[in-house]
Chains A and B, each alone.
Chain A
Amino acid sequence: GENVEQHPSTLSVQEGDSAVIKCTYSDSASNYFPWYKQELGKGPQLIIDIRSNVGEKKDQRIAVTLNKTAKHFSLHITETQPEDSAVYFCAASGAGNMLTFGGGTRLMVKP
């Protein structure tokens, strides 16, 4: 089955700096890669996703890149703000449309 590794597990940045979170996956058949933001005590919220036929996607301060050959994808957050502080999860979906989640990254943005 699919295995998704996520790094780092914690990330602390200064407000205004950029944050990068990286994930690798094992199943070359996976073709959908969403990123979720989870605040304490709440369910995950989809913030951006990318499909395997696209190498990069951007939405305002958030961007995701995908390298299918290397089987890794990354989340980039620019001009971080304190409200970006949360746990971020990457996921991969392939056969059966089931999501396999990475271990999560706790992002802390210091004002």
Chain B
Amino acid sequence: QVHLQESGPGLVKPSQNLSLTCTVSGVSINSGGYLWNWIRQHPGKGLEWLGYINYRGSIFYNPSLKSRLIISMDASKKQYSLNLTSLTDADTAVYYCVRGEGYYYSLDVWGQGTAVTVAS
């Protein structure tokens, strides 16, 4: 069974950077056919796609966050990561790591999400 688990700090100060890691189990993270996504949800709001990385290391970023966002992968650790710089309170959200699979890259496996609060 495929399982994704986010980890990282729950509280970050404004202007600092956020680093989150997603640990993948039950499947090889460098298998073809999958996109490894980060998605967030602001409190009481909808879903926002942040970006994804595939097994080749190709990366797509949400254009609205591209200047502040880096997504990377460490296949040997079965992990991929998000680094978001220059945080403001607008980055307070639940962050999900999510697998995209198949021809339609539908989002078939979601992590439980990790809540991040940006506050001093």
Q: Are A and B a genuine interacting pair, yes or no? A: no
A-to-B contact residues, CB < 8 Å: none
List the interface of chain B (C-beta within 8 A of A): none
